[in-house]
Amino acid sequence: MRNVGYLLFLLFILSACTDEIPYDLAEPMAGKQKVLIEEISGVRCPNCPDGSRLLEALNADFDSSLIVVTYHAGSFSRPYAESKYDFKTSQTVSLMELLGRPEGYPSAAIQRIPVPGQQTYQRLPNTWTTTISDAVNAEPKVDLNLSVNTLNTSTTLRVSALFLEDINAPVFLTVYLTEDGLVDPQADTKTSEEYIADFQHDHVLREVLTPVEGTRWSDGYQKLDFKEDNFNVDVHALSNVVDSGNTAFVVFLHTSEGVLQVEKIDVH
């Protein structure tokens, strides 16, 4: 009788072990959606610093979700005789042609979202808050991560992307190099003088490390696709850069409909 009980107990244990335990595959956690601001400027543009100050305030309002890149192009970008630097380059002019010539200043492209009914990305300040709010509240479609490794004067930028949704359109990668702390003249509505001699220019676009329109990564991606890319850069050798210690990489993935995700990382 004892053996019969033991056999019944053993059969119960074995049958229990074959029961399927339901489980869910863990979904990747999406990070915060960042918003790319491509601000056009010029050292002779007195209204442009007002735009920069507004973007600083909006960045605080939106929990530091904005990544601002300032590029100098157009009629206001001609340096003063006293200027040490010329922030306008052939690449910044090409970028202006890509994003559209502004109708007025300040002006900025926000998340590369096209302006409805127009062939431009340029937006005046009265639309910035609403456009940024819509962009920052969008669900991220890509988890984008950056890392840098510097050996001697060579820096390797590693870009890693995990796609959180299907992307049924060509995806492009663009890499900017920006620089902070450039002190030079700038026209400004805050002064009665022609310009402020010691104005500090930040997040200035110094080099586009991909084609200006971006490098085509793929014709599309499926959910949970993963891709990496590396860029080797000798920042010290770039003639536009004044202090490599003040530089950063800005990396973004985009389609014709706008920026999927953007991130920024210091070079050093």
Tens of pLDDT, residue by residue over 17-71, are: 444 545 454 566 668 999 999 999 999 999 999 999 999 999 999 999 999 999 9
Q: What pLDDT is stored for residue 152 in this prediction?
A: 87
What's the token pair of residue 52?
A: 């920069």
Tens-place pLDDT, residues 74-113: 999 999 999 999 999 999 999 999 999 999 999 999 999 9
Residue type, 34: K
Alpha helices in 62-164 (DSSP H): 90-99, 128-136
C-beta of residue 253 within 8 angstroms of C-beta of residue 173: yes
Phi/psi for 228 (5° steps) reads -125, 155
Q: Which of 254, 110, 99, 114 is nearest to 173 (CA)?
A: 254
User: What is the chain's mean pLDDT, rounded?
Assistant: 92
3-state SS record for 197-244: EEEEECCEEEEECCCCCCEEEECCECCCCEEEEEEEECHHHCCCCCCH
What's the token pair of residue 97?
A: 């042609």
Q: Is the pLDDT of residue 215 over 70?
A: yes
The stretch 217-233 carries a mean pLDDT of: 97
Q: What pLDDT is stored for residue 30 in this prediction?
A: 64
Q: What is the DSSP letter of 169?
A: S
**Which structural domains are found in the chain, ordered by start?**
33-139+171-214+241-266 (3.40.30)
Q: What pLDDT is stored for residue 65 in this prediction?
A: 98
Q: Is the pLDDT of residue 247 over 90?
A: yes
Alpha helices in the chain (DSSP H): 2-17, 48-61, 90-99, 128-136
User: How many whole angstroms separate alpha carbon 91 and alpha carbon 50?
Assistant: 24
141-151 burial, b at 16+ Cβ within 10 Å, e below that, comes to bbbbbbebeee
The stretch 129-134 carries a mean pLDDT of: 98
Q: Is the pLDDT of residue 9 over 90?
A: no
pTM: 0.89
Q: Which of 68, 72, 76, 73 is nearest to 52 (CA)?
A: 68
Could you tell me how far CA 199 lies from the centroid of its own chain? 25
Could you tell me how far CA 197 lies from the centroid of its own chain? 30
Q: What pLDDT is stored for residue 14 in this prediction?
A: 47
